[in-house]
Structure 1
Amino acid sequence: MQRLPRLLIITLVGCLMLFSGAVAQEENASDISNATTELQTAEGVPPEILQYAADWPLPNRDYENTRATTNVSISSENVDDLAIAWTFDINATGTFGGASSNPLIVGDTVYFQDLFADTYALNLADGSVKWERIYNNTTVTGPNGPAVGWGKVFVTNDPFSIAALNTSSGEELWSMQLINTTPLEGEIIGEGIDIQPTVYNDLVFTSTVPGRGDVFYQGGAVGFLYALDQETGEIVWNVSTVDDPVGIWGNPEVNSGGGAWYTPAVDKETGITYWAIANPAPFAGLPEFPNGESRPGPNLYTNTLMALDHATGNMSWFTQVLAHDLFDHDLQIAPILTNANISGEDQKIVISGGKMGRVYAFNRDTGAILWIAVVGRHENDQLARLPPGNTTVYPGALGGVETPMAYANNTVYAPYVDLYTNWTPTSSLSLGVEGAPQAEIQSVPEGTGGLVAIEADTGKILWDRKLDSINVGGATVVNDLVFTATFNGTIYAFDAVTGEEVWNFTAPAGINAWPAVANDTIIWPCGVGEMAQVIALRPGGMDGMTPTPTATMNVTPAATVNVTPAATVNVTPAATVNVTPMATMNVTPMATMNVTPMATMNATPTATMNATPTATMNATPTATMNVTPMATMNATPTATVNVTPTATMNATPTATPAAPGAETTVEIAADNLAFDTETITVPGGASVTMVFDNQDGGIPHNVAVYDGPLRSEAIFVGDIITGPAEITYTFTAPSEPGTYYFQCDIHPSMNGDFIVE
């Protein structure tokens, strides 16, 4: 689930909160210059993004999602002079405040969207309105926001549709409905669009999630990824984020999940897009299905990083970092693309993180996990099953890395939230399921947070700055500074190298959004409270303003809207649809924390599903299905984690069939994220003693036996142990001879045949 939407849960459980230059390092400047040169020669990049690459033309500034700039005059030398140059009132109000995402700066124009979906073009110089498009939709939860390209501004205009507006006038050019809004009698629509889109190669990339407005995680709801034609809005391809979007892990009446909450990264050299997919539901469980028993198995492709071809949606690889998530621990943060030297080898990598309070580095070509950094407070978050009674878990449902990270100079900057949730095996925040007892979430005013700097080569924590309020303001690098902001309305600037606090500023309202920066101006939405405003910070403030004539407001009448009905949306030929059923990850960024699955989550409209062939899923060889060590890895995970070789699983079986009869002993070991055997053989009906040696230091594993790779029925599920450690399991083998299946539930790429003779 997501950021601010998660505040919805707080309201529903009675916990809702309070209130309402340019001295760049030479190396980083060179990196930016090279990136700009590459961008200017890249095919498929919209002309506005080419022309204004030095501004903030994309949601996280660039296709790599770095959120870093050296092309501005703000630095540690003049940060003390920052003051408000102008403000723009935010009229949207609601549980999530008025704003929860990133403005864009394109030349002399700021594009901003609030949480009523109202979209504005503002003059960068003085904040005057050039045009506005008012949708006044109170069920948009975010993190929404604009994307710009080909003379259009692309926005979510209601929870079900994407619209294209003219960049000069705000006139709506087309609107494409992605979600069926005419359900059968008694059904409630259970999906919505809660993401800031991005654009590339004549396509608009967006996603649905299992919820919208007041409805989250209703049984049957599945998130999809979409690519739309920028000229017409027609669907070019869509991909399910649940591997079985019809059966939904065996119980479609109860289960739901998936989707993306944050903007994907785009590798312009390869054309591969990288998506962070959210959590499964219900979580933690229900009275009749404790500990997520309604959804046995790993719940692919939730909590997964996916690499998809931008043109077709075909999957190159996927890596699940957390199987069978019980705690709403999404992997949801916008992936960051960069290079690093890991264990002496230069590699192209992709970095992501999420509400589980971990940041991951993956090999960009294979999905292999290279390191894991643990951030924030952790307690009981590695449990595979909750014991009876209340268990306090850090990070809670509103904790961990909730908002976008930044990258510069071989350093990743991650904001984090320390809030706990008290869970029981049958408590739930999946409010789409009626009658579920609610988990207890710590009050937001009691929460704290921080900002960490992580070395990109090793995952080592370089510094960690604690903050007295939850940090849901993202991270943004500006020359030698890194900016962030807390929910109580404090904006901070830290020295990017040392972490020393250089400057802070009290905003007019609380903050759960992140800024855009260009020239000498920081544009920051401050949307929580009675004084909700977009503020422009500039050295000298109003004294430093350049007078600009007030622009005229061009309000385009709604009558010009060209709405394409959902029924006509699904025109993509099956050959191009490539619907890769994936997982159910509700990435809930804190600012838009859609954490509250509501009662009425509808199944994904079949009209937009365009078939979900499992064939596209199987395009990914198991060797690239790098299911991650989620474990208790230390804050400075070493580069030795970077072996994900499922291919190394080719070892000789250690299990020897015992004589038919009563007992047999099996020995199995895990090392380098692989079992030392691909086959275990036992007599039918035997009492099995399995000695499991987990040799992977700091990484959790178990051994579980199922009826087959689809894991429809569990024969035995062993307790999870964090290595190095050894455990002895005992269970009874099936009496029916045949080939069954065993795996590590935390890393399902570790698997093999369990043969009963």
Structure 2
Amino acid sequence: MNKKRISDKTFVLFFIFIFLASISTVATSSDWSQFQSDWEHTALTQDPAVKENPETAWTVTTSMYEENGINAPPIIADDLVYIYTTNGSIWAFDKNNGDLVWKNKTTGGSALQSSTPAYGNGKIFVASNSGDLFAFDGSTGEELWNEHVTDSNFECPITYFDHMIYIGDGLKGGVATKYYYCYDGNGQQLWKYANERSAGFLWNGACVIGDFIVYSTHEGKLVSLDKEKGGLVDEIDLTSEVLDFAKDDPGMFRSSVTYNDGFVYTTSERGQSLGYVWKIGYDKGKFINDGWCTQNGFSTSTPAIHEGKIYVGQGEHGYPGNLTCLDDSTGNILWSYFVDAGVKSSPAIAVEGGMTYIYFTGAKSNGSLYCLKEDGSLAWEYNPPDDGYILQGAAISDGKIYFGTDSGYLYCIQESIPKGWEQFHKDAQNTGFSPSDASDTNNILWASEDIGAVQGSSPVIADSKVYVNCGDYIKSLDQYTGEFLRNHSRGSTKYNSIASPAYHNGSVWCGLPDSVNSGTTVADGKLFEGEWDGHYYCFDELTGEELWNFSANGNAQATPAYEEGRVYFTSWEYGQTHAGYVYCVDSNTGDLIWDQSEIVYNCCGSPTIYGNIVYVTTYNFYGEGEIYALNKNNGSILWKSLIHRTDSTPTGAYGNVYVCGGCYGYSDLQTYCFDAITGDLKWNTTPSDGIGGWLCSVAVADEKVFVGTALEPEDDYTGLNGTCALDAFTGELIWNSGYGGSSPAVSDGMVFTIANGRVYAFGDLVAIDESTNEESAGFESSTAASGLLISAIYMMRRKRKE
């Protein structure tokens, strides 16, 4: 059927070709722009959690030229990771790959740098150990200004809020009058407040609460100041009897203040075993005799509060410690996790799927990064390969965790992602993102014979084989040569279904006999599949026994998405006022958890899960479609944006969500990149590019977006006749080819796609110069080249590269 020849009268028949859609992620809006994330020190991110199987995404060293350690936690903004090192240098690395973007130098290198920089309004603010404040351009590293502020030093985090910088004198100079300062973003001092007879501020960062800032002094006072004028609003001495729960000798206060729901929190330490956690009422700048104090061991850790629980570390250099969880209402200890190192770090929190994950580091040489579940059990421990001392904690952005050691190594940790592409759009969440490297050129490693591969479907790759929906059969090919291997079970044929196969443990599926575009999702020992009549089914993977079925409104075309005991799918009813539906059901029972029925146009595609968001797209037969971001837990609409009509399944990666749309002959073909959390458009291709299409689901890997193109199709209803690679961050064209076009798949450095009944495999390929035994450019593969020769050279290249 040629879509450009379809009249309005025959639109109702047009359903037979509609595809799948959705995605998930987290983005530039997931900045960790200062100590403990923000000016209230919440230390909480809604980014995806690293829940299990951590692996090193990348690592870099700042000690390449001289000894240069990392003692302060990273900060993250605008896709850069900023690190302040012991020799007084500020470094900016690309957060996605660890490439050095710039570095610059401040004053006052030291064996210990405990002041954490802050980011705001495009600038990085750094407090040096020599008492100077610096501002650098966040993108280029150009020094914008520096001011000598104090003859003491700086040892506490900078707090940034609304173009104002807050920081206090360090411990240098002993007990004296020590000041807390406020500077504007241009380096002008706005005020300074004198704290008499004080040792100063070590890790005592200020918390901004409405019109006020609050900080603790080394001696145990809490101070509340007018944040704009610096005038004293209130002060309370935690060693006095002003509070019902004050202590005669609480010890030293060496942590920042956290604010949550009418209370401020901090910690103190006395000796190696005694210390307290404090919760004190706070309202309109005044402290209130409400709260509690709990003995909790030596602590310099800033508390993190979430859903009625407080997470805080205890322990000192050379002594064992704990990460402890307290009840927020009573201060009672709920659990304590022991580690053989002091937990001086302040915990960071991620929430995903209703579960809370707590991240912290142990203060010792050859220490570790830990992840605990909310019940106090260990999710994982990551011990970095260097044996440097770990002092401070971690920062989180886009589902990755960043921390450093005093050996000068910065680590980016991610959850291990399987590198295969075993079902539609990569995995059970339909994410569409692969950690594999991928082709930098349009070299065709091989092209199969015409095996009847269904245009619009996507191949899957597993066990060195490529599985393809060929209608009557699923056929397998050799991954490296394209050689036909064998026929498997039936494919998907009803209404020219474009369902994609799924592979697991030696078995392969491709939907049900009456499926239309709905492929099989394999997860948790179950198969999830949809039928055209509006029913979704769950079967036991081993026995095939039906476990439950769910009746949706209208027609069902989605390949379901699964995560953590929940399965998500869509349906649509042609001609209805609200034609699109999204469902979340219990994967064990099929019981409805939530549905979203306020979507105007047709949800003909598949949902995708990323982080705490479910993404779906819509097809409008008479105009523009949309992309929706839904709250994963309740289905509420977080944002939506107009795009060309589509069934495309979006892909989430690098804090962005990627999607394409457009129907050849009816609307332009374009590819889009949105901020995954805010929905802000980051880039899109132009209509003249002809990149994208309603049936193409993009694949993302190796910082590239792989998508189909329109190159003058004739009777091809998909409108795709070519493949291209775009830069994932700019949308710039990297390469294109006149071959392939259907939803690409990426595995083992290769890109696979379908067109004209054939499967095409793209991959970087260089010739081996046997005389020099060196790789040399200039080898051009072709579809006529011997598959076995290509395979041999390709595998040799990959082995040498590894």
* TM-score (normalised: structure 2): 0.45
- Greater strand proportion: 2
Higher RCO structure (Cα 8 Å, ≥6 apart): 1
- Greater helix proportion: 1
* TM-score (normalised: structure 1): 0.47
The higher radius of gyration belongs to: 2
